[in-house]
């Protein structure tokens, strides 16, 4: 926090050993609850996201943990083989569609070329996404493990508190519903020939053999169905993971802001303050309906049940200055954890976001063109609308969450001014100045360090996509 930050950190550790856990607890191993609205700590906040990524071969399965010692090598080889199988499943269709696109360039219609090129782009990106997370699996597991170990599930003890449970539950629900939507979209496309009772394949691409022969047709159809499900989940896994991390970090910012708001009250609790006085202050707090709006991005503030808190014993109480010092240090440590996590998020996702932006731009253009100029059938129209809606939704998820994280990250100073800092601010004025000077660090998520993933990028991508669409329409009119 300052040149003497080492001594500050040592003081925080010293106070941590001296204080009663029920008052001090700030998200560690214990599960001390502040009221009936508080909740216990989750051990793994990304279990659903990692489960889908392991099933899609993007992160190797850790089967060796569940098998005897003699089977660990076999389990490791199976996990790697499954990942390679998933990569090949995507890659072979990407190659087949590239071949189809090249063949169409010689004697095909523009609509057929764009149709094949769309699927080539989709499966090429699916192959890239699988390989990208495979190469970064160790960094991803380390990142997720760090968040699981260090996130705070509620704010410091004070007159009010927020619980991070809502942000974790929201991340879980967004992941579940988004992946279901992606799977439904691709499965509807894959099942179209069966629903129409047509002896055709869902994916019309070149094969070096007759794919419509008996037995061969069933095998190829099953392969394409598997690849469609695989592609759909891979399509959603990256954005689901990104949104989940952003939502959890927004929850951590809310925890930090509520802790800053209660710094003075937390210090009074630690120093053995009069609970009767604190309860009177709590009664005078504004009602939630009358309180300042938009203090928090996701979480809801509740009153702390002060009767459940035990004040430190007289022989172990710190002075008010020490308590203020350690309370502010804990806020600094949480702020540093959030910034470190956001920097890691940026490092993991900025190459991914660059390729994803390019893929979405081309895909939006081609899907819109195929929908306007391609063959008109009810099932095909429904499938194209689904793909277009999923693509636009994914773009919105990346850009809106990036915008929300950036705008919410610079409100640290505002949160501190909501506290009663002036009552005892003279005791830690140097710490306050340094903290506020370091509170203006903006969290930014970029695409390849070239541009920010924000609402401005959403507008830019849609504008570029429809500029390309206009160009394709003019080419189609010229050919006619």
pLDDT digits (tens, 9 = 90+) for 274-284: 777 778 877 77
pLDDT digits (tens, 9 = 90+) for 178-232: 998 888 878 877 777 777 777 888 888 888 888 888 888 889 888 888 888 888 8
Q: Taking all residues of the chain, what is their mean pLDDT, rounded to a whole number?
A: 78
Q: Residue 243: pLDDT band by 50, 70, 90 thresholds?
A: very high
Please state, for a pLDDT cut of 90, what percent of the chain lies above it: 13
Q: Residue 3: pLDDT band by 50, 70, 90 thresholds?
A: very low
Task: Give the integer Cα–Cα distance in Å for 249 and 412.
Answer: 14
pLDDT of 19 above 50: no
Side-chain half-sphere CA neighbours of 329 within 13 A:
21
* Per-residue tokens: 98: 């590239």
pLDDT of 389 above 90: no
* Per-residue tokens: 351: 């190459």
Q: Residue 67: pLDDT band by 50, 70, 90 thresholds?
A: low
Pairing of strands 160-161, 446-447: unpaired
* Per-residue tokens: 305: 């049940």
β-sheet bridge partners, residue 163: 154
SS3 content of the chain, % helix, strand, coil (to 5): 70, 0, 25
pLDDT of 241 above 90: yes
pLDDT of 7 above 50: no
3-state SS assignment for residue 160 = strand
pLDDT of 390 above 70: yes
pLDDT digits (tens, 9 = 90+) for 244-287: 999 999 999 999 888 888 888 888 887 777 777 778 877 777 77
pLDDT digits (tens, 9 = 90+) for 467-478: 776 776 676 666
pLDDT of 32 above 90: no
Nearest partner of 44 among 117, 137, 144, 161, judged by Cα:
144
Side-chain half-sphere CA neighbours of 114 within 13 A:
25
């Amino acid at each position: 926090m300052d040149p003497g930050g080492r001594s500050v950190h040592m003081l925080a550790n010293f106070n941590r050993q001296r204080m009663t856990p029920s008052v001090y607890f700030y998200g560690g191993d214990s599960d001390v609850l502040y009221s009936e609205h508080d909740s216990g700590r989750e051990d793994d906040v990304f279990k659903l996201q990692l489960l889908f990524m392991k099933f899609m071969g993007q992160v190797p399965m850790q089967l060796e943990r569940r098998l005897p010692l003699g089977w660990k090598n076999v389990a490791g080889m199976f996990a790697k083989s499954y990942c390679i199988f998933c990569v090949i499943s995507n890659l072979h269709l990407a190659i087949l569609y590239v071949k189809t696109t090249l063949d169409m360039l010689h004697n095909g219609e523009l609509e057929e070329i764009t149709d094949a090129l769309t699927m080539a782009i989709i499966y090429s990106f699916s192959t890239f996404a699988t390989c990208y997370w495979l190469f970064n699996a160790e960094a991803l597991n380390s990142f997720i493990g760090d968040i699981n170990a260090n996130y705070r599930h509620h704010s410091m003890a004070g007159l009010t508190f927020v619980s991070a449970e809502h942000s974790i539950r929201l991340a879980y629900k967004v992941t579940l519903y988004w992946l279901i939507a992606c799977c439904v979209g691709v499965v509807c496309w894959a099942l179209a020939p069966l629903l129409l009772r047509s002896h055709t394949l869902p994916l019309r691409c070149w094969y070096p053999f007759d794919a419509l022969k008996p037995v061969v047709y069933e095998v190829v159809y099953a392969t394409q169905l598997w690849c469609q499900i695989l592609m759909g989940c891979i399509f959603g896994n990256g954005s689901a993971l990104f949104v989940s991390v952003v939502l959890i970090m927004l929850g951590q910012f809310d925890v930090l802001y509520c802790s800053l708001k209660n710094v003075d009250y937390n210090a009074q609790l630690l120093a053995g303050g009069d609970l009767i006085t604190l309860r009177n202050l709590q009664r005078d707090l504004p009602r939630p309906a009358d309180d300042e709006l938009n203090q928090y991005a996701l979480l809801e503030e509740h009153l702390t049940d002060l009767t459940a808190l035990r004040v430190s014993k007289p022989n172990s109480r710190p002075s008010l200055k020490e308590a203020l010092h350690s309370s502010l240090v804990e806020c600094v440590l949480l702020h540093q954890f959030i910034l470190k996590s956001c920097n890691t998020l940026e490092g993991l996702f900025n190459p991914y976001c660059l390729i994803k932006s390019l893929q979405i731009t081309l895909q939006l253009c081609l899907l819109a063109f195929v929908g306007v100029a391609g063959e008109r059938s009810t099932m095909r129209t429904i499938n194209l609308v689904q793909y277009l809606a999923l693509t636009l939704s994914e773009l919105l998820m990346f850009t809106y969450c990036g915008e929300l994280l950036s705008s919410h990250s610079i409100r640290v100073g505002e949160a501190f001014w909501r506290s009663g800092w002036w009552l005892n601010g003279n005791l830690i004025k140097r710490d306050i100045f340094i903290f506020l000077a370091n509170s203006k660090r903006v969290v930014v998520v970029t695409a390849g360090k070239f541009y920010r993933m924000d609402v401005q990028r959403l507008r830019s991508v849609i504008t570029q996509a429809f500029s390309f669409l206009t160009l394709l329409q003019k080419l189609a009119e010229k050919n006619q």
